[in-house]
């Protein structure tokens, strides 16, 4: 462990970030945690007091003042704790869409879910294995406050992922238990998001030689992005027949630069896509029909 000179002001550390993958890792040596839907946050205490930073190193201590007050109950001279600032809904799940207004209007309802410890009492812990850092962090975080420890979930990655999606969570984060902490993107940490399915309007299509076909989707008049068409030949042809009958619409407002065939209203699709994204991501069209 690296030990700095005493009394120094601790600097924000660029976060270690999980890679987005399709499936949880298999085998032993991994821990699996809930992927909380909030803002990545770094909590620092040193001789200058307590500060909270955003993922990019912006000081948001004033916005997170109740969390800063609660951090005073953590019994240590200095630390750098990593976590996710969240607000929960009535079901007890993290609610990203309510978070910004909660920060402004009801910051006392914010929680910080702590999931890593980078520095403690003059010692840099980043060269320690994750499982050892978490053992220290769990003891450090007092029970019953708005700063909580992120517990690993028991079971294999596949089982934990399935249960998380069934429970309506955004997904999981899987981490190598022996991994050291290094800033930047890494496959030693992996995030696996749950998928949801939803009905949306098909407002256009993109078809080009050598490129996968894609339908363009909208929800309540708002453009949501594209979904890949992966049907077999007969169903794909049935879709193109429906598209042909709807072709000829003007580009929707703000989408004139998109090179697409725009469709008249009435064609609906069921699309599968990653949960917790503002626009469609990793999306595929599962079915389609004419609105009755």
Domain ranges of the chain: 16-193, 195-290
**What mean pLDDT is predicted for residues 68-84?**
97
pTM of the model: 0.79
pLDDT of residue 134: 98
Is the pLDDT reported for residue 34 higher than 70? yes
Domains 16-193 and 195-290 share a fold: no
CATH class of 195-290: mainly beta
Q: Is the pLDDT of residue 120 over 50?
A: yes
Known catalytic residue: 272?
no
- Choice among 131-135, 147-151, 248-252 with the minimum mean pLDDT: 248-252
Radius of gyration of the chain (CA): 23
* pLDDT at 2 > cutoff 70: no
Distance (Å, whole) CA 265 – CA 262: 10
Q: Minimal CA–CA distance to 147: which of 136, 135, 137, 159?
A: 137
Q: What is the pLDDT of residue 6?
A: 52
Over residues 139-143, the mean pLDDT reads 94
Options 26, 35, 45, 246, the catalytic residue: 35
Residue with tokens 């609660």: 70
Separation between Cα atoms, residue 160 and residue 34, nearest integer Å:
9
**229-237 mean pLDDT:** 93
What confidence score (pLDDT) does residue 274 get?
87
**Kindly report the CA angle at 238 between 237 and 239, in degrees rounded to 5?**
90
Helix, strand, coil shares of the chain as percentages rounded to 5?
Answer: 20, 40, 45
Residue 18 scores a pLDDT above 70: yes
- CATH, range 16-193: 3.30.470.30
pLDDT in tens, 210-225: 788 999 999 998 999 9
Closest CA relative to residue 20, chosen from 35, 40, 31, 30: 35
pLDDT at 1 over 70: no
> What is the average pLDDT across 165-186?
95
Please identify which residue in the block is written with the tokens 């072709």: 247
pLDDT (mean) for 90-100: 87
* pLDDT, mean of residues 85-96: 89
**What are 80's strand-pairing partners?**
44, 119
For the chain, what percent of residues have pLDDT higher than 70?
Answer: 98
pLDDT for 276 beyond 80: no
pLDDT above 50 for 256: yes
Q: What is residue 213's predicted lDDT score, i.e. its pLDDT?
A: 92
């Amino acid at each position: 462990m690296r030990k700095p000179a005493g009394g120094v002001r601790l600097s924000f550390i660029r976060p270690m970030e999980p890679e987005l993958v399709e499936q949880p890792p298999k085998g032993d040596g991994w821990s699996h945690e809930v992927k909380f839907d909030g803002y990545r946050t770094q909590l620092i205490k040193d001789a200058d007091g307590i500060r909270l930073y955003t993922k990019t190193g912006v000081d948001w201590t004033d916005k997170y003042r109740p969390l800063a007050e609660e951090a005073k109950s953590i019994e240590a001279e200095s630390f750098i704790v990593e976590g996710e600032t969240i607000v929960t809904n009535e079901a007890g799940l993290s609610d990203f869409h309510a978070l910004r207004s909660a920060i402004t209007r009801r910051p006392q309802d914010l929680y910080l879910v702590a999931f890593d410890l980078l520095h403690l009492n003059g010692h840099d812990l980043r060269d320690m294995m994750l499982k050892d850092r978490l053992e220290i962090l769990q003891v450090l975080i007092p029970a019953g406050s708005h700063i909580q420890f992120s517990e690993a979930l028991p079971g294999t990655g596949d089982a934990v992922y399935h249960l998380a999606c069934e429970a309506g969570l955004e997904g999981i984060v899987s981490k190598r238990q022996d991994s050291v902490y290094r800033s930047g993107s890494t496959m030693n940490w992996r995030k696996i998001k749950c998928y949801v399915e939803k009905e949306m309007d098909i407002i256009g299509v993109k078809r080009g030689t050598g490129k996968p076909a894609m339908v363009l989707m909208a929800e309540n008049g708002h453009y949501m992005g594209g979904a890949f068409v992966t049907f077999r030949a007969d169903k794909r042809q049935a879709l193109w027949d429906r598209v042909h009958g709807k072709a000829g619409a003007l580009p929707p407002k703000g989408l004139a630069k998109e090179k697409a065939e725009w469709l008249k209203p009435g064609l609906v699709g069921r699309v599968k896509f990653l949960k917790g994204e503002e626009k469609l991501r990793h999306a595929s069209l599962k079915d389609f029909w004419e609105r009755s």
